[in-house]
Amino acid sequence: MRRSLFLTLSCLLAALAVSAQIPSLERVEPMFWWVGMSNPNVQLIVHGDHIGSRKVVLKYPGVQLVKVHQVENPNYLFVDLRISSATLPGTFPIKFTKAGEKALIYQYTLNKRDHSVGRAQGVTSKDLIYLIMPDRFANADPKNDSVAGLREQGINRAKMYSRHGGDLQGIIDHLDYLKDLGVTAIWLTPAIENDEPKTSYHGYAVTDHYKIDPRYGTNELYKQLVAKCHQIGMKVVMDLVHNHAGTEGYTILDMPMKSWVHQWPTYTTSNFRDAAVMDPHASPADRKRMLDGWFDHRMADMNENNPYVQNFLTQNHIWWVEYSGVDGFRLDTYPYNDPQYMADWAVKVKAEFPHLSIFGETLVWSAANQAFFTEGNTVNRGFDTHLPGVTDGVWKEAVYDALNAREGWTEGVNRLYSVMAQDFLYKDPTKNTIFLDNHDMSRFLSVVGEDFTKYKSGIALLLTMRGVPQMYYGDEILMKNFSNPDGLVREDFPGGWPGDKYNMFLPTGRGVKENYAFNYVRTLANYRKNTSALQTGKLMQYIPENGVYVFFRYDAQKTVMVVFNSWDIDQTISTGRYEERINGANKALNVITGETIDISSLSIGAKATLVLEILPNNKH
């Protein structure tokens, strides 16, 4: 998400009123933990009416009460525990005592870690990610459309800013559809509670970091979703928001301390200029506003220099992986976070889950800008971010140029070639997530003018290029619209609601063109799923000539040739230039049509793309 926010004096006064209404022991977070973690330390955040005036008493073999922190707000205690490697799973009381008053008791549980095969396994270049906005995909449980006690009630599918009722069960019910399509991983926009008065269906204004939004389901149902995905060979990516939180969350309404969020004399937005973070000549004031300015009035900017905030966020994210078994994290608004904290966060998360994958949203405008945020200090940043990959928006823009713009020395298809030529900037470019659209931008079909040939070419490039490909829900059935406003690109998946006119989860509910598009994606996605050359193979590209861009993906098993004609006219090309990769072969399998064709020369339509598996001479 890309906007920001701030807490006014009136909000602070309102928070004081709220604090007088909370129970004596309102919550303890993390609610439970595990023995055998790599990091033996855990910091509990305890919230309750004047809980800070109480002493903490606990006794359990292997658990040491290291320190109790009293902070500015008397409604909080931060409790440091150290859990030795020999500690056994079990439950024990934590007592909050005060002279002359009854002790408050919280039963704290330490669980055994789940080391089942397939948990936190990572999402890699072998996968195809399918991005889903839960509220807009499918409604399988109308009973949770409106939940008592939440600030926004009911659903209204006629309004783009209202909730529409999609839920986790709706996703579970359509996992077979996704598996058939060739999807191997799903990424949900945040399913965590967003209890804002309006327009929080997108999930990026978190109000309870430890709770699935009840309009989507429960924590247990989320855990079941992950388990069901694993059972059928699919993975799950969880969307995290470090940078900001919804203003209706308890830590914002009743902040532990003034430095919990970034405070300004008056409401101040970010300048949204990532260059201020990397510019060696940048004004400190510009850099501060970029990092500390708010995204939106309903999204408080978290102060990641505050060690209590750091512990709160890092432990929460570790908790979700151990609890649910998710396979990867997508990190929202990555450039707006404190750089040193994010590096420390990544080290701590990977220490617990070595195979977990992580990629950050970096919607910037050059490959160098993207690489600045990635691991390895490859662009002389001065320290290692430990961020394996980014959302490769620069690649996306280059594909749009290749499909829509006139060819020039650095324009059109040559821009795509040049972007790929800059892969030397990354420690490992195959960990970048490549995509054509998402929930924050215009849909791919609309950007290419609803030109079906361009659509197919874009899909072909997405599913054959290096990196981790990601599709947006409905791309395969030709969903369209421009992000003006963004609600137009977050429409309901047809058939996800009882009574929908069309059910495009089924072939019978799709039109001829939608079925053609679905089958085109399905054919390529499943071919990719079974072709290691497109997953982990090397890439060799050739400088475009006469608007024709050719690259190869290859390994010891197969060689795949991809030919894209960016011109507005049909062309016939000789393949002699590519002999070093064709290696004497004269036949190839057209992956889409299944035909075997002669490749001494190739005829290719305007704006079209061929995906060809080279057949060695002894195989045809």
Residue 611, judged by CB atoms within 10 A of its CB (0-12, 13-18, 19+), counts as buried
Strands (DSSP E) found in 546-600: 548-554, 559-565, 571-574, 587-590, 596-598
- Tokens coding 354: 């070595």
Measured CA distances, 223 to 3, 89, 217, 323, 476 (Å): 30, 21, 11, 7, 27
C-alpha angle 44-49-53 in degrees, rounded to nearest 5: 70
Catalytic residue, chosen from 254, 332, 475, 486, is 332
φ and ψ at residue 294, rounded to 5 degrees? -85, 155
Out of 167, 361, 375, 613, the active site residue is: 361
Alpha-carbon distance of 137 to 132, in angstroms, equals 7
- Give DSSP secondary structure letters for 349-411: HHHH-TT-EEEE----SSHHHHHHTSTT-TT--SS-----EEB-HHHHHHHHHHHHSPP-SSS
- With residue 240 as reference, give the H or E element that holds it: strand 235-240
SS3 78: strand
Question: CB burial class (10 A; 0-12, 13-18, 19+) of residue 418?
Answer: middle
Cα separation, 122 vs 127, whole angstroms: 10
Q: To which H or E segment does residue 172 belong?
A: helix 168-172
Cα 194 to Cα 246: distance, rounded to the nearest angstrom:
7
Torsion-angle region of 580 (φ positive above 0: left; ψ -120 to 50: alpha; else: beta):
alpha
- b/e for 396-408, b at 16 or more Cβ within 10 A? bbbbbbbbeeebe
Alpha-carbon torsion angle 563, 564, 565, 566, nearest 10:
-160
Can you tell me the distance from the alpha carbon of 128 to that of 124, in angstroms, rounded to the nearest whole number? 9
Q: At what angle do helices 452-464 and 512-529 cross, to 10 degrees?
A: 10
Which of 129, 132, 202 lies closest to 432 in space, CA to CA?
Answer: 129
Tokens of 93: 């009381």
Tell me, yes or no, if 397 is annotated catalytic: no
361 is catalytic: yes
Q: What are residue 101's DSSP bridge partners?
A: 98
User: Residue 344's Cα: distance from chain center in Å?
Assistant: 19
Give the whole-angstrom CA distance, residue 248 versus residue 300. 10
> Who contacts 433 (Cβ-Cβ below 8 Å, separation ≥6)?
129, 330, 359, 389, 390, 391, 392, 467, 468, 469, 470
Per DSSP, the three-state class of 58 is: strand
Asked if 469 and 432 count as a contact pair (C-beta separation under 8 A), the reply is no
- Active site residues per annotation: 332, 361
